[in-house]
Amino acid sequence: MFKIKLSDVYRSYIACLNQQDWPKLEQFVDENVRYNDKQIGLSGYREMLEKDFREIPDLHFNIQLLVSDGHYIASRLSFDCSPKGKFLGLDINGKQVSFCENVFYEFHNKGKIIKVWSIIDKANIESQLQRIGR
Amino acid sequence: MFKIKLSDVYRSYIACLNQQDWPKLEQFVDENVRYNDKQIGLSGYREMLEKDFREIPDLHFNIQLLVSDGHYIASRLSFDCSPKGKFLGLDINGKQVSFCENVFYEFHNKGKIIKVWSIIDKANIESQLQRIGR
């Protein structure tokens, strides 16, 4: 019997994001995906990611920790990047910042992401901005 | 062979926090625990929690999602509470706020927490404060 190894699917999903291979996104993300309890759908999900890459041209997703159990993946992602203008309401203006995102994913039976609950470490970015001077 | 079920250990740890049973904390947390990449040790961990309960008298930890794999637990915790003054640098002043924390724990061989990587959804609290008026 073939059993999908969810952590492998997830690593391919992250590679897809880093390659900005948007036509491939539907292989990983369900049509009716919910993001932080809002139904944004695949098209909304893709728009969100495309906007992220427009605003952060050097965006790259790095998996720091991956915890997988049943239909769930929890991942700690790290970023080292330079948002062009505002990010999370903060004036970054091209400064380089490092931060993490702790994020949970629920996959349905066919191995696609149906729910995402993400938190980005905004407080950490704020303290970096204070250190390097606004 | 007796095998510790880490999710059960974790649920007992959360019960310990909610009961503010600080002498029991050492059953769950290692002497040399690291929190967000800083070695704070068991005493620092306890001080942090005691401070949280002083500043948020109605603090209660609710497990929304629990993902367990090997030596790791990932948990999405939710809170409905009223911090008395400042919280995460925000002026809460007794207003009721709801927010989540996405947090990873590494346990060592003896089933105690040795590393924690936590992110609290500060951006969500900020938008609630904007809605209800500062």
Q: Are the CB atoms for B99 and B123 separated by under 8 Å?
A: no
The predicted pLDDT at position A132 comes to 78
| Per-domain boundaries in chain B | 6-132
Q: Mean pLDDT, chain A, as a whole number?
A: 94
Q: What is the mean pLDDT of residues A60-83?
A: 97
Q: What is the pLDDT of residue B58?
A: 97
Q: Is B93 helix (H, G, I), strand (E, B) or coil?
A: coil
Q: Mean per-residue pLDDT for A73-85?
A: 97
Q: Does residue B4 have a pLDDT over 70?
A: no
Q: Grade residue A1 by pLDDT with cuts at 50, 70 and 90.
A: very low
State the smallest CA–CA distance between residue B67 and chain A in angstroms.
Answer: 6
Under an 8 Å CB criterion, which residues of B touch A? Answer: 65, 67-69, 72-74, 76, 88-89, 100-104, 117-123, 126
Is A100–B117 a contact, with Cβ atoms under 8 angstroms apart? yes
Position B3 confidence tier, pLDDT thresholds 50, 70, 90: low
Mean pLDDT on A109-129: 95
Contact list, B88 vs chain A (CB under 8 Å): 123
Percent of chain B topping pLDDT 70: 96
The arithmetic mean of pLDDT across residues A49-67, rounded, is 97
What pLDDT, in 10s, does the model give residues B83-123? Answer: 999 999 999 999 999 999 999 999 998 999 999 999 999 99
Backbone angles phi and psi of A63, in degrees to 5: -85, 120
Percent of chain A with pLDDT over 90: 92
B-interface mutation test, from A119, A121, A125, A126, most B Cβ less than 10 A away: A119
E-strand ranges in A1-134 read: 29-35, 38-39, 62-69, 72-81, 86-87, 90-91, 97-107, 113-120
CATH topology of domain B6-132: Nuclear Transport Factor 2; Chain: A, (3.10.450)
Cβ contact A119–B120 (<8 Å): yes
Residue B35 contacts residue B46 (beta carbons within 8 Å): no
- Which pLDDT tens digit goes with each residue over A8-41? 999 999 999 999 999 999 999 999 999 999 999 9
Q: Which residue of A has its CA nearest to B118?
A: A102
Does B123 sit within 8 Å of A89, measured CB to CB? yes
Full-model pTM: 0.95
pLDDT at A131: 87
ipTM entry: 0.94
Q: What is the least distance, in Å, from the CA of B124 to any CA of chain A? A: 9
